[in-house]
Each structure stands twice: as structure tokens, then as C-alpha cells.
A and B are shown apart, each in its own frame.
Chain A
Amino acid sequence: PLPSSPLQDIRNTVGNIPMEWYQDFPHIGYDLEGKKIYKPIRNKDELDLFLEKMENPDYWRTVQDKMTGADIKLTDEQVDLVHRLQKGQFGDVNFNPYEPAVDFFTHEVMIHPVTNRPADKRSFIPSLIEKEKVSKLVHAIKMGWIKPRKPKDDTPTYYDLWAHEDPNSILGRHKMHVPAPKMKLPGHEESYNPPPEYLLSEEEKLAWEQQEPAERKLNFVPQQYRCLRAVPAYSRFIHERFERCLDLYLCPRQRKMRVNVDPEDLIPKLPKPRDLQPFPTTQALIYRGHTSLVRCLSVSPGGQWLVSGSDDGTVRFWEVCTARCMKTLPVGGVVKSVAWNPNPTVCLVAVCVEQSVLLVNPCLGDKLLYGATDQVLESYVAPEEERVQPVQWVTATLEEHSKGIRLVVQHSKAVKQVTWHGKGDYFASVVSDNSNMQVLIHQTSKRWSQNPFRKSKGLVQCVLFHPIRPYFFVATQRYVRVYNLLKQELTKKLMTNCKWVSSMAIHPGGDNIICGSYDSKLAWFDLDLSTRPYQLLRHHKKALRSVAFHKHYPLFASGSDDGTVIVCHGMVYNDLLQNPLLVPVKVLKGHVTTLDLGVLDVLFHPTQPWVFSSGADGTVRLYT
């Protein structure tokens, strides 16, 4: 606080108290008559302050007195004083800090004493206490108890600690001792003059600074100095030694067995794909025509024709060898599944469109053959008593007949899959429903359908007939159930170890099943072995959409959303003791992934080692 000018009559009457006590009041203290002493009114806003700053030439020397709240203009002397104090000089102008010193006590002996005090008596008489002490020391020296002027030797004495090294004395705890790992030796980057490539660029330096100290690969920034004399002290030297000390006594040590594996040894030794030929290796043909996703494929039993169903509401028939579209059948809805009758004497294709299954005669190939099929269908005589059926069998209208549609099986809900029995008379359809009506088995010749299950066991994904024996496979989300159709009972329940089964295929021998799943796994089951997968292959990167077995060759294929088809060799031996041999032989690429979907269906040619795949890019491809 600066001394207030004498002209001001407002004095501080509150005393030495914290002034913020009066912050919220309009006054500070009281005068002699007990009236409030008001603070000067301050109602200047920012603009006023600024204007004052600009206009008032004495603004810089105006200060607010905290005691009274008034603005005070500093006098020249006061400003001078502030300047002096800022410079670290003495406040008083007249004070001379460099006055000549007068030593009262100098090393020179003066002729006059400094003080006038008479000398003590004890300064004349020798001290008795001192005499006693000295005589004690003299006595001790005489007796040899004290040796004067002998340099004190407090250096520790060392000796040969390991003079009698005895291997037998090594105790168990010595053997168990884990020596501390040595500190890492410095690399080129720690040099005071490293090669230029070890210096960090600007971005690297920034990245280094942003990293946590524990995450950094180097605990220092490499630096280059022109010569040795320019190298400064390392500021973290003591820290590093200290941290080493902490490591040594705070970190528990443990022996870690590090396996030194050659990564090549980890790769299993498999037979060479070349020795497992034939299998499809290259893309041979592309069947173009569909304008949307091609969801399903099927091949005629002779292998000459291919049928594909697409989201664009058409079913197309192709000649396999020429990639020519023989026929286009608009069906007016998304085609979820197509299946060609496996019986070579019948020319019939089952097509799933929305709530119905169409039985289509494509009229391709031998005229006798497809004529015979039509005759068989027409020769149906309705039974006398109408039986209650879960579906409706409707004969096609004339217009539909001309397109090739012969029969329409109308379901109550949308149909998602259809599959034929090996003989070609029965077929099964899967309805997306939650009730027990999910799976239906139909007989074409009698136009008769039935519902085999009384209870729903979960959402059915797909169904399959056993190629030889009267078994029926039903895949729900996580399990595959095997039913015996003759005995009408559940034979087996296979655990797939997958989250959501997408597709299923059976080995022509009938003892092995593969299941593809949406969590990109492929499970191979050996039905004789156990209900768990014999092998779980995770070679796809994305969800599997479809799997297929070849009829004659030991091949199976899987198509996935990553746009690839992987062909594997899957040899099943007649010898029961020998486990099946699974070897991936080829990764086929070609489909472009659209809408995150790649390959939607794969299928083998019935006689040749060829594989068809249909994709989300609207093409069907043949690999040979």
C-alpha cells in the first residue's frame, strides 16, 4: 500500500483486516460520527476503461488504493521509488551501498585496543581444566594408549573372499538364483554422432512425444552432435540408474522358457495338391444374364444343363459347356432355391418362389424324356376321398403351362429351401416359420404332402435326404438332427460347435457331413465317429454361404462372403480305422463382392471335376 496523499481526508478506519470483507458493501468503515464512509462510485464498463486508457495520459501511473477504494495518481517520487525497487536497488535514494568499509578487527595488530575494557583475570592465569585435560592426554600418550599423528585409516579391508571356492558348498538356493538380466546394450541410434537414417524425422519426433513413456521403443530421442565437445550431459542419467535399482529389487524374476520354433516347422506337412488332382483350378466360363444376386444353382443329373435362380425374379437355364442361356423363366418373385430332380429319367426342376414351390419342366434335352415326364405328371388321378393336407397342390394354368410350369405347391408361408430325395419322387421343403410346420415332405407322383414333425426344435436352416439309407437331416441353428424315416425316430444329434449353421452337404458315401456356418467355420462330421466335428476348418475369412460335395471325386467346396471358393480334397477311406484326409487344394477367386456378399452358392458338376459358383455380382462362374 502506498502512502495516501495528505490532501485526502478519507482515511482507513477499518484497520488491518482483509479488505474483501467489505467487497459486497458500498462503504468501507465508519467515520467518527458513526456514518458510513462510502467507496468512490465505480461504474465504468470495459469501454470506459479503454477510453480512459487511451485518453488519460496519467493512466499508467494511476493505482487503486485497496484500503479506500479510491484511484490515486502516483507522484514522480513514488514512480521513481517503484522503478528503483524493480531494479533491485535500495528504496532510499540517499543510501549509498558502496561506502568504504571500516574493519574494526583487522589482521594488523593495532597499537591501541579496540575496546576499553580491562582484561579478565583468567586471561593471565593458566586454566586448571585445560591443564587437567592435557595431563590426561599426556598420560595416555605415555602409556601408549593414544598414538598421535597416526593417519586415521577407515578404509575397509578386503581379502580373498573366494580363496576356498568349494563346488560342494553351492547350495540349493544358489542354483535356484535367477541372475538379473543385464541392461540392453546401446545400438547405433544412441551414438552421439549416429548415421543420419537413425535420426527421427519431425513426424516421428511428434509421435514419440505423444507416446506414453512406457510405450516408447527408445527412451531418448537420437541426436547428432558435430563434435565431442558439443555433447551435453544426459539429464536422465541418475533416473536411469535409479530405475535400474528399482527393477533389481522390486521386480520379481522368473525363468521363462522361450521356445525357439522355426515357423516353417509349424506348417503341417500335407500331400502336395499336385498329387491330389483332378480338382478345379482356373475359371473357365462366366454365365452372364442375371441382373441381381444369384442365390441358387442346380445341375441336371446328366450334367448338360444348369439352372440358376436370382433375386431379379427369373430362373435361367443354361447349357453348361457353352454358357448359353437356353431359357429364361420369369416367376415374379425372389427365387430362394432351385433343385433339379436327381432321377435321370425325369426332367423336372423344383423352384422356390415366395410361398410356393413350382415344379417346372424345362423342356430341354431329349424330347422323349421330357415328354415322358409330362405324361407321368398328367397321368395323376385324384384319389376318391380328399385328404387333409398342409399345402395345396394346384395344376398350372395354360399360360403357366406354356412357360413350363406344371404344378404349383402352395404353402402357407414363404419357402426357403427345397431338396429332392435321391429317387426323385419325394422332395422336402423348408418354410420360414416358428411352428412345427417348418419342414414338409411331398410326394410328386401322388401329389401328397405331410408334416413329419410334431414339435418345433428351433429355426430350421436346411434339410437333406440321405443318398442311400432312409435318413433325414435337419439343421437348426446349432445342431444337426438325424431322423430315421422308417422308424420315425431321432437317431442322432450332431453338435456343430458353430453359432449359426448356414448350409450342409452330405458325402455320397453317406457317412460324412460338412456344415458351413455364418461364423466362417466349416465342420466335418464323421457320423460313425462321434457327434462332434472331426475337424473344424477356419479357412474362410467371412461367413460361409454354401458347401458342396462332389458325387464321384473326393472333393468338397465352400463358398463364402469373402468372394472366394475354397476347394478341398476330402478323402474318405473304406477302411474304418483310417480317418478322412482333408487337404485344401485351391482357392478360387473371381467373384466381386457386392453389398458385402460374395459367393452365394457352390455346386459340383455331377461327372466332371468342375465347380459352379454363383455370386452377388449377378454372375455364375464355372471353374475347371
Chain B
Amino acid sequence: RYPTFVDALRDLDDALSMCFLFSTFPRTGKCHVQTIQLCRRLAVEFLNYVIASRSLRKVFLSIKGIYYQAEVLGQPVTWITPYAFAHDHPTDVDYRVMATFTEFYTTLLGFVNFRLYHSLNLLYPPKIDGQVDAELKPVEGKEYAMDSESYLEKLSALSASLARVVAPTHEDEVEMDEFPVEGETAEQMDMRKKEQEALEKHKKLFEGLRFFLNREVPREPLAFIIRCFGGQVSWDKSLCIGATYDVSDPSITHQIVDRPQVEKQVVGRYYLQPQWVFDSVNAKLCLPVADYFPGVLLPPHLSPFVTEQEGDYVPPEKLKLLAMQRGENPDEESEEEDEEEEEEEDDNDKEEEEEEEDESEKEEEMKLKKMEEQKTQSNKALPVKVTAGKVRLEDRQRLEQEQQSEEKRLAIMMMKKREKYLYKKIMFGKKRKVREANKLAAKRKAHDSAVKEEKRKSKKARRA
């Protein structure tokens, strides 16, 4: 099925999604316990590999589940995990089909994991680094499970690094020599270098930060993401095995909280909602924390998988984010708003122009009609009035445009039937796209104005 390893990696999306789904199934009914355990083990191994190789790129909180995208050996691998709730098993699904697929996927994922671990000089099956392992061992006498049983739990805590076949040395990170690729200009080289640097920076996004997860936030996804970008993470000891430090640790920089307010706040750390982690990863920079304090109305969470092309609708939040990535930092909010408004106006102008093109014919017609009317009126009413004429400025550019559009229309007339059909189809698609974008923009505008109105009202009410 997969003659090369890359082929296997390309087909990994469904395998991962399925394994993550099966690993959340209850151990009763539906399918064999062994399958569920195996799925869980393979999934956790893969997560550990992603942490070790720091290959996570994008994450997305959707209403269906959490999407992750990692870049494994140059191949984008995307998977989705459901939110951690008990499944309400549907009756119209044939679990035998799913089980058959899972059998194949577990085999595939096992072999892929083996190869991936070896590519990083990690032991397979994974072993937790000896030193950390000792730390993780609970105080003697209180051991609650056999070593073989707690092994998977420790691994799935995602807090410990893995043992390597060869002890890592700092010399491993020798900078690679650069060989210019033939036919590549200096500019392209620079671009590539910049990209490489940005990627390295992205990988070390949370380096040096210490996170603490409150018990109400989903532990596994957050621990996974934070560890993928070099951050340190811990949680309450009673929540899960593998907690490395306590809430009271003064060196904690960020505490992830998902409740309306925090009672006892410790000075020296940020209390943030979990969306901050996700948005920061997608933005490739640590976002300003003010928008993400507990109880605050969160900014919209955007999908990192959308790359807007020309003519597509871009939400204003994305524009702001892009500006921030470029390094522009609008300080005052009012300025931002002004900018937004200007942008909106620009958009409107464009739309108007488009409409004008369409309307040019209509206008012509209207003019002709008016002229006719005037003529008839002058015929009817003999006492003719002479009014001062108005100087009509001819917009040369516009005339030219009109002429061009007319030429185009005439040329379209002469198209062959088949080509005309194709052309019409393409143009229909384009128009629909524009229509949709305009609709979204209009909706946004209406929403913004409604929000402003409300603000104004509330202000007035406060003043009164």
C-alpha cells in the first residue's frame, strides 16, 4: 500500500483522527478493549513524537473538536480530536466498518511511529527519561498502580521528555552548511533564510514560560500545545499524574483559567483564558494578554487553515493580526478604529466602482430616455425655455473603461457555444464569490454599527 515512507505519511490524517476517536471510547460494548488501549497508546506515542520534534504548526478550536496540524518530515499532517465528553453512540453507524478501518490504521500508525522515533534517535517503545522518571515516582508507600500500568499514564501526561538512544549533545544542533540551489536568486535565498528563521522562532514560542493549568481547562490538549512550543507546564497533583510544580510556585508566568473570575490572584503571573494559547500559536507570536483575561469577552477565534486570496472576504480581526505580524503595532485603539473605518470605506468604494460598471449601460439608457422626454415635452409645450447649460466634464478614464467593457461584451457574443458555456460558468462562480464576500462584509458592518449604537446608548444611560 505504501511503497515509501512519505506515502504513508501522506495518508496519516484519517489514521490519526480515527485513533484519537477510538481512544476516547468507553471500555464497554462497541469494540474490543485491546483496540481501544492500542489506539490510546499509539496516539500518545505520536503526541510525544510531535513534542520531541516540535513539529506542531497550527491548532484550531472548532465546534466539532480540536484540529491540529503538524509538519512531519515536510508533510502536513492534520487530525481532529473530539472534546472530552462521553459519546452518545449513534445507532445508525456500523461499528464493524469503523473497527476494520481502525485495525488497518493502528498497524499503519505503529510502523510510522517506529520509524519516526528512530529518525529522532528516540527509543521505541518510548521510555521516559530516567532522571525525570525518578522525579515522577510518587513518595514511597503510596504507589497506586503497577509500573507496567502507570507507564502509559505517565507517558500520556506529556510532561516528561523521552529517553534517547544516544545521549543528546549540544553539538547536535550544528548549523547546517548552506548550499545555494542552482537557478535561485539571492532574493529567493534570503526569503528562504527568513522563513527558516521565522520557523525556528515559532518553534521556541513558549520557551522560558511556565504555565499552570487550572483543573477546569482541558489538560491534555493544552499541555501538548505548550510543550510543543517549548513551554513548561504543570497542573494540580490530584488532577493527573506528572505534575511537576504546584500552584504556589512563584516562577509561574501564565496560569490558564476558564472561570468568570479568580478569587485569589497571585501577583506576578497572568491569568488567561485557554484561547490565548491557541491564538498565539496560530499568530506565531505571543499576543497581547489584555484581551484574554478571565471573564473578558474574547476576540473571535479564527481558523489558521484559511489563506485568503485576492477578492476573498477577510475578517477585520485577521487584518489586524496580519498587521501585527508585519510588525506594525497600532498603539491607540482609536487609531485602529479609524483605520478600520477607512478600510471599510475603501471596500465600499471598490464595490461602488464595480456597481458603476454594471450601471453604466443603465445610465446611458436613462440619459437617452431623459433626452427623449425633454424632446417630447418641448414638442408639446411651445413656450420654450432656454436654461443655462451645464458644463459636462467628460471623464476620459471612465469613457475608456466603458468602451473596453463594451468591446468585451461584443467579443463575448462571438464566442463559440462551448467556450461561452465554460466562460459563463467561470464568471458565475466568480460573481458568486464576490457576492458572498460582499454579504459577509455587509453583515459585519451591520453588526459593528449595532454594537456601536448599543455602546452609545449605555454611555448615555450611564451619564443620565
Chain B residues with CB under 8 A of A274 = 403
In this assembly, does A469 line the interface, its C-beta being within 8 Å of a C-beta of chain B?
no
The segment from B135-143, B165-173, B326-334, B417-425 that touches chain A is: B417-425
Q: In the complex the two chains form, is A185's CB within 8 Å of B407's CB?
A: no
Q: Which of B87, B415, B426, B443 contacts A238 (CB under 8 A)?
A: B87
Chain B residue with Cβ nearest A222: B63
Chain A residues in 8 Å Cβ range of B306? 185, 187-188
A76 interfacial by beta-carbon distance below 8 Å: no
Complex CA distance for A33 and B87, rounded to whole angstroms: 67
Q: Which of A160, A188, A228 contacts B275 (CB 8 A)?
A: A228
CB pair A165–B5 under 8 Å, yes or no, is yes
| B114-A237 in contact (CB<8A) | no
Mask: chain A, 307-330; 1 = CB below 8 Å from B; 0 = not: 000000000000000000000000
- Which residues between 568 and 593 of chain A lie within 8 Å of chain B, taking CB atoms? 582-587, 589-590
Which B226-249 residues have C-beta < 8 A from chain A?
none
Per the bound structure, the CA–CA distance linking A267 and B444 in Å amounts to 36
In contact, A187 and B423 (Cβ under 8 angstroms): no
Do the beta carbons of B3 and A273 come within 8 Å of each other?
A: no
Closest B residue to A247 by beta carbon equals B14
* CB-nearest residue of chain A to B11: A179
Residues from chain B with Cβ under 8 Å of A476 in the complex: none
Which residues of B lie under 8 Å from residue A233 when comparing CB positions?
A: 82-83, 85-88
Q: How large is the interface on A (under 10, 10 to 19, 20 to 34, 35 or more residues)?
A: 35 or more
Question: Which residues of A (240-271) have their CB < 8 Å from a CB of B?
Answer: 240-242, 244-246, 248-249, 261, 263, 266-270
Q: Which residues of A contact B297 (CB under 8 A)?
A: 226
Indicate whether A141 reaches chain B with its CB closer than 8 angstroms: no
Which residues between 72 and 114 of chain B lie within 8 Å of chain A, taking CB atoms?
Answer: 78, 82-83, 85-90, 92-94, 97-98, 101, 107, 110-111, 113-114
| A159 contact set on B, CB distance < 8 A | 111, 114
Name the A residues within 8 Å of B124 (CB-CB).
158
The interface residues of chain A lying within 8 Å CB-to-CB of B423 are 263, 266-267
Q: Is the CB of B98 within 8 A of A195?
A: no
By secondary structure, the B interface counts as helix
Which residues on A sit within 8 Å (CB–CB) of B87? 233, 237-238
**Distance A182 CA – B407 CA, assembled complex (angstroms):** 43
Known: A165-B4, A233-B85, A248-B14. A191 touches B303 (CB 8 A): yes
A590 to B18 CA separation, bound complex (whole angstroms): 66
Q: Which residues of B contact A35 (CB under 8 A)?
A: none
Q: How far is the CA of A99 from the CA of B111 in the complex (A)?
A: 62
By a CB distance below 8 angstroms, the chain B residues around A589 are 365, 368
Whether B315 contacts A231 by the Cβ 8 Å rule is no
Report yes or no: B413 in contact with A537, Cβ–Cβ below 8 A: yes
Indicate whether A197 sits within 8 Å of B11 (C-beta atoms), given known contacts A185-B305, A192-B61, A228-B217: no
Is the beta-carbon distance between A584 and B17 smaller than 8 angstroms?
no
Chain A residues with CB under 8 A of B63: 190-192, 220, 222-223, 225, 231, 234
Contact assessment for A162 and B115 in the assembled complex, using a CB-CB cutoff below 8 Å = yes
| B287 contacts chain A at the CB level, 8 A cutoff | no
Asked whether, in the complex, the Cβ of A197 is within 8 Å of the Cβ of B444, the reply is yes
Q: Assess whether B303 is in contact with A160, with CB atoms less than 8 Å apart.
A: no
Within 8 A of B (CB), among A162-183: 162, 165, 169-171, 174, 179-180, 182-183
- In contact, A266 and B415 (Cβ under 8 angstroms): yes
Which residues of A have CB within 8 Å of B115?
Answer: 160-162
The answer to whether B97 and A245 touch across the interface, beta carbons within 8 angstroms, is: yes
Q: Enumerate B38-56 residues with CB–CB distance to A below 8 Å.
A: 38, 41
Assembled-state Cα–Cα distance A566/B409 (Å): 12
Tell me, yes or no, whether A410 is within 8 Å of chain B by CB: no
Residue of chain A at shortest CB distance from B302: A188
Q: Taking beta carbons and an 8 Å cutoff, which residues of B are in contact with A?
A: 2-5, 7-8, 10-11, 13-14, 17-18, 21, 34, 38, 41, 60-65, 67, 78, 82-83, 85-90, 92-94, 97-98, 101, 107, 110-111, 113-115, 118, 124-125, 148, 216-218, 258-259, 273-275, 297-298, 300-303, 305-306, 315-317, 365, 368, 372, 375, 403, 406-415, 417, 419, 422-423, 426-427, 430, 440-441, 443-444, 447
Q: What are 17 A-B pairs with beta-carbon distances under 8 A?
A: A156-B38, A158-B111, A160-B118, A161-B111, A161-B114, A165-B3, A169-B3, A182-B13, A185-B305, A192-B62, A195-B317, A197-B315, A220-B64, A229-B217, A269-B411, A538-B417, A539-B413
Chain A positions within 8 Å of B, measured between CB atoms, are 151, 154-156, 158-162, 165, 169-171, 174, 179-180, 182-183, 185-188, 190-198, 201, 220, 222-223, 225-229, 231-242, 244-246, 248-249, 261, 263, 266-270, 272-274, 283, 286, 537-539, 566, 582-587, 589-590
With A195-B302, A197-B443, A238-B93 known, 18 other A-B pairs at CB within 8 A are: A159-B111, A160-B114, A180-B14, A186-B60, A191-B60, A195-B300, A197-B441, A197-B447, A201-B443, A222-B63, A233-B86, A233-B87, A238-B87, A245-B97, A263-B423, A274-B403, A583-B414, A590-B368
